[in-house]
Structure 1
Amino acid sequence: MQAEQIPLSYRRYALGLLLAVNLLNYIDRQVLFAVFPLIKADLNISDTELGLLGSAFMLSYMVIAPVFGWLGDHWDRVKLASSGVVVWSLATVLAGFAPGYRTLLSARATVGVGEASFGTVSPGLIADFFPKDQRGRILSWFYVAIPVGSAMGYLLGGVLGHRFGWHAAFLMVGLPGMLLALPLWFLRTPERGGDRSSEEVAEEKGMAGYLQLFRNRAFVTNTLAMAAMTFAIGGLAQWIPTFLFRVHAQDVEKANTLFGSTTVLAGILGTLAGGWLGDRWQKKSSKGYLLVSGWGFFIGAPFAAWAIMAPALPVCMAAIFVAEFFLFLNTGPLNTVIINVTRPAVRAMAFAVNIFFIHALGDAVSPSMLGWLSDQCGLRLALLSTPLVMALAGVLCFVCGRYVAHDMAQAEP
């Protein structure tokens, strides 16, 4: 059916359902990092091995994403997304029964496979439900699941891990995903491209359309900016709770509660503000989304450095709040740029390619890289790489702004 034939109430229901699934996505993804100290002590592993648990997820996530990108452009998107929910939920439960390091490593890699299915198709689904001039705000609501789900992962992981052990933390956060797989399976969706005919969209499919992504300069530079952002977010998200545990002498539950509550507040405010500002600035300039993100990175970088070097816990947490606000500010705008500069027929693959590169260059390497640096020179110095990468992301956003108007015009029907 055409997008305009779907009642607004059902569009909102669809957004709410996809938001709820994305929330569980990030809870299951981040709960691992909440119980890092418990896993390290129980399994007697190094920081490098600990970091590899995060990298295993990201490696499978990014490698399998192009497969689901192709499937998402040719098959039923909601069926792919629903199947992915089942896979990652069962894998998270399996982690709760892991007797040792290798089983846990395998379970986390399988979580990445399931989440890749959902991550490649869901942004395009949302774009087809709503008009172009609302995409920044609508996608910001969808991506608010990143800070909220991440924070809930830290909070639930910290509390459950402290009281019942890390096995119980995985088991209890993995089960709820099964409840949302069924309604997602039966979700009614508009035709690809929203108000465009299915015949017109179908004509754009094929290898030529996919290869065009790599000649799309706005898509390429935007993806590189998101890779730098993902490196920074991954580094901070996966090691700050442990940083609070080691440097500021907080126990596991309190460290995760502090970081989780800070992340959820800064993330909600930053994500929603970014969507609103992006839509507003985009009406004045074709590079409005990129201006919001570029300045967001430049403002947030020094606060990230301040948080890492601050001797007092209150100053550290205040600086983390500001840094995370300006990091999450960019989520809606940068994902909206992907949609705006790519044609509907190849959007699932566009997000798959984006997923591959932002994680290959970002948080697939940052957990183990920071773990290795921590083993060599201490966690505080290792974390100082993150604000440098944030500044690089800002530069790339402004470079992308030079190309975005041309590539948006090329993506128009």
Structure 2
Amino acid sequence: IADQAILIPNYLLIEKEFGIKHAQVGAVSSIFIVIGAVSAILWGYWVDKYSRKQLLVFGVLVGEIPCFLTAFTQNYIQLFLVRALTGMGIGVILPVGYSLLGDYFPPQERGKIAGWFISAVTLGYLLGAVLAATIGPRLSWRYPVILCSTPNFILVPFFHFLAKEPVRGGTESEIKELVSSGVAYLYKVKLRDFKRIISIRTNLFLNLQSIPGCILWGILPTWVITFIAKEKGFTITTATVIVLIFAMARIGGNLCGGYVGDHLYKRSPIQQINFC
């Protein structure tokens, strides 16, 4: 997840080195986000058909190899292409992560678990931003990219050999007893299921409101550090610290929302929805 922010604090350095403008750097960020979003749908489809542990291993490698190669790009086209490929790998995190957590924990605990999960995602983003802001201006924007991507090649084998694939549906109250007795949950998602999923009005409205709602969160994380540094005269490091303060508040909101959501869910699922 640190990959998402590993270039952002050093956009001005990248623009200067490659002789490009804000719009071109923005295109790099846009392709990263768009490819990540589209690939997340594919990853989500595969999550319901294949081993999630193996998909996560594969997806991380798909993202981290081009992320590592980002440090060795020599021109704008190369940078654009490797960031697009990195976005494809990043798209695996949320579909696989939520699916695994859904089978590790029962519905009554998923709110707080989701809160911790999203907080970890935010911390990863912050780690990337801090590395880039502290090392990039002093050495090169390339070094943080290497530092960010290299540990994954060590951690992936550990995850592969140590993580356990949970039983599908093992924590769902409707089928928990059947699964515990040895009955396997064999249903595999089909493409036609997407039509049924989107025909449910709750799903449809959630997705429709997310589109305009996410525009702001595509702009702010991408450009706010550059804006504070260039327009307000702060150093990149100081601008990143300012953003860090707001991000820490977001982590607090994630955790609070998760615990409150679980509490309300135990009383009534409707109360949880109203709270959101």
Are 1:240 and 2:224 counterparts? yes
Are 1:277 and 2:260 counterparts? yes
> Would the alpha carbon gap of residues 91 and 283 (structure 1) be closer, same or farther in structure 2, given more than 3 Å must change?
same
Q: Which residue of 2 aligns with 1:188?
A: 164
Structure 2, unmatched stretches of 5+, are: none
Q: Which residue of 2 aligns with 1:226?
A: 210
**Superposed counterparts of 1:1-400, under 5 Å:** 25=1, 27-186=2-161, 187-195=163-171, 196=175, 197=179, 201-203=185-187, 205-260=189-244, 262-293=245-276
Residue 163 (structure 1) shift:
1.0
- For the 8 Å contact 1:34–1:241, the answer to whether it is kept is yes
- For the 8 Å contact 1:137–1:275, the answer to whether it is kept is yes
> Would the alpha carbon gap of residues 107 and 269 (structure 1) be closer, same or farther in structure 2, given more than 3 Å must change?
same
| Structure 2: distance between partners of 1:224 and 1:73 | 23
- Give the TM-score taking structure 2 as reference length: 0.89
CA RMSD of aligned residues (A): 2.0
> Would the alpha carbon gap of residues 201 and 213 (structure 1) be closer, same or farther in structure 2, given more than 3 Å must change?
farther
- For the 8 Å contact 1:148–1:267, the answer to whether it is kept is no
- For the 8 Å contact 2:47–2:99, the answer to whether it is kept is no
| Structure 2: distance between partners of 1:256 and 1:172 | 18
**The 10-residue stretch of structure 1 (224-233 or 246-255) with the greater mean CA deviation from structure 2:** 224-233
Residue 209 (structure 1) shift:
2.8
Identity of aligned residues (%): 25
| Structure 1: distance between partners of 2:263 and 2:41 | 33
| Structure 2: distance between partners of 1:254 and 1:234 | 21
> Would the alpha carbon gap of residues 264 and 171 (structure 1) be closer, same or farther in structure 2, given more than 3 Å must change?
same
Residue 204 (structure 1) shift:
6.1
Structure 1, unmatched stretches of 5+, are: 1-24, 294-413
Provide Cα deviations, 1:63-121, integer angstroms capped at 9, x if missing partner. Answer: 22333222211111100101111221221111101111111111111111112233321
> Would the alpha carbon gap of residues 152 and 69 (structure 1) be closer, same or farther in structure 2, given more than 3 Å must change?
same
| Structure 1: distance between partners of 2:209 and 2:153 | 34
- Give the TM-score taking structure 1 as reference length: 0.61
SS of alignment partner, residue 144 of structure 1: helix
